[in-house]
Structure 1
């Protein structure tokens, strides 16, 4: 079984650097991913952060499309709770018309920032519609399927692309898995956010058990997003992985969110006006020499029965980050799985004729 591999880049900005430098790295990584034959390259959405530059994935995707030729480019993901489904559909229809067949719309459920950025994006009262309703509406706009009894019946989403962006739902819980299943969408479980493999396995099983075929997808399709660090030796990989921590904030209301640093967690708690506690532990990372990583990935895909993975690789030393992506590609080729990591394979078929 082959397994296409993608890259998720969050455009980190390190102390003493400029936003221009962080975006230059993302552009270079997208071009590297294409040269190495990775299937897709996604960028993220974060707000009110001094450590991440990527606040507008649709704008960044547009630039990356112009800097590459064939790799799939998408969002990992757009935080739909903040936005008008109509405007999200317009943005991604423009992208899909500019680069037919290359654009993917990953939709996230987290706020992507602090409470004050949520207020800044949504206003004081926010949008009363649920994410479920907004997700369905976005899909209908993308595919020009506005019902006759809709409040905006007859509306035209400009432009209409012959190849609308493929939608993926991102999450790290059973709730998100069941939402993706009900909507008949591909599901991406973010194991690099929720490092509990038992929770991940339960979510994937729930997704498959309750999947409802849709116009876009006939059968369940699961992608696992993992932190992966490949180095020339296990010792070097361990040293590089020392940079990776999992920081969660547990709010009195019951919400649990993963943030980048302890400082961000403390600030989130202050802005939420809720009692909170912070949990810090070593992040879940697949790490080691090329063959050691390959063994771990083989076990993971067998356990989860997954079709694809996306790697989120947190290494501050850019040359070593590039090396990690190179070694990961090489080990797939060495094990006869080059067709699983090359973009020349058949794209994910999200039509009703799929698989």
Structure 2
């Protein structure tokens, strides 16, 4: 393949399965991902959720690094609006000092939860969430020990200094995010499973390439592979995307209608909940690969991060195996 593949795992909670066992399934998956030839493995940040167990990516990343030896591990991503850029830089410098060349620092703009958890995360601080670009710029300066002399924190360093810096990625689903990543000269991951608008993806890819041609451009897609197209179609048909549209104009993507309703109530604004069929690439290994090949040709993606939104651990594991570089390369040899 002329592009690489990675995995995004949100540690989905299955009814009747303990949180301990849920996180152990993430550990099992990252070991398989390494064995199957995936380039990287990212974990997400969601708060106050009964649906996913991944609330602290930096902690989970450290554990997964210790359980593997070669695959890159990272956050997909740290929700920077809640945290000090300085502390985030320190956390990932520690990880990169322990495991040089294996750490990805994915940064997200979303809250990662409902308004109540956002208020709890920002308790005791003055934070409107409107200074994301300033926070990301400062974080990048800290990662590269390049805080300007005119900055109020001139001379500060995020220690320890790792032999290899963590790779920084901005996660987004808009042209503005692509432009910001290009301006800051950092890698960009477009979340197609959040925003399936092909025109937005096209414009984001062009904006990023035009402004930072040497940067790494990743597209994160929802995929389901199965032994037959029929089975994959059934699995994909069960998945929905739920959006809550607030009176202020903000639109957020949630996992369930119940979550969206709760978000709207906690926001204190008028709101509307909309449900859509999920944008999922599904089929056999060959069919999904053909779709990824097409996206690669259209948008010049250097890599795809695969997200498989089905609750069954066995079906998720099977899907990732069927799409793994090792499996697909074996198909190519025998074709």
CA shift for structure 1 position 127: 5.3
May I ask how many residue pairs the two structures share in their alignment?
A: 330
**What is the root-mean-square deviation in Å for CA atoms of aligned residues?**
1.5
Match of 1:80 in 2: 80
Partners in 2 of 1:274 and 1:122 — Cα distance? 20
Return 242-251 or 100-109, whichever deviates more: 242-251
Deviation readout 1:287-306 (Å, 9 max, x if unpaired) = 00111112211111111121
Matches within 5 A, 1:36-185: 36-123=36-123, 125-126=126-127, 130-185=131-186
Partners in 1 of 2:8 and 2:242 — Cα distance? 19
Equivalent position to 1:260, from 236, 255, 260: 255
Equivalent position to 2:328, from 327, 331, 335: 331
Partners in 2 of 1:129 and 1:227 — Cα distance? 29
Partners in 2 of 1:317 and 1:17 — Cα distance? 11
Equivalent position to 2:276, from 274, 278, 281: 281
TM-score, structure 1 as length reference: 0.90
| Aligned structure 1 segments of 4 or more residues deviating by more than 3 angstroms | none
Alignment gaps of 5+ in structure 1: 212-217, 337-355
Match of 2:266 in 1: 271
TM-score, structure 2 as length reference: 0.95
Match of 1:10 in 2: 10
Confirm whether residue 190 of structure 1 aligns to residue 191 of structure 2.
yes
**1:159–1:27: structure 2 CA closer, same or farther, 3 Å change rule?**
same
**1:278–1:96: structure 2 CA closer, same or farther, 3 Å change rule?**
same
Matches within 5 A, 1:227-238: 227-238=222-233
Equivalent position to 2:242, from 228, 244, 247: 247
Partners in 2 of 1:279 and 1:239 — Cα distance? 22
Partners in 2 of 1:171 and 1:311 — Cα distance? 15
2:13–2:311 Cα contact (<8 Å) kept: no
Alignment gaps of 5+ in structure 2: none
Partners in 2 of 1:335 and 1:250 — Cα distance? 45
Match of 2:19 in 1: 19
Partners in 2 of 1:332 and 1:115 — Cα distance? 45
Q: Residue 51 of structure 1 aligns to a residue in which SS?
A: coil
Partners in 2 of 1:137 and 1:129 — Cα distance? 15
Match of 1:344 in 2: none
2:14–2:312 Cα contact (<8 Å) kept: no
Match of 1:317 in 2: 312
Partners in 2 of 1:275 and 1:142 — Cα distance? 40
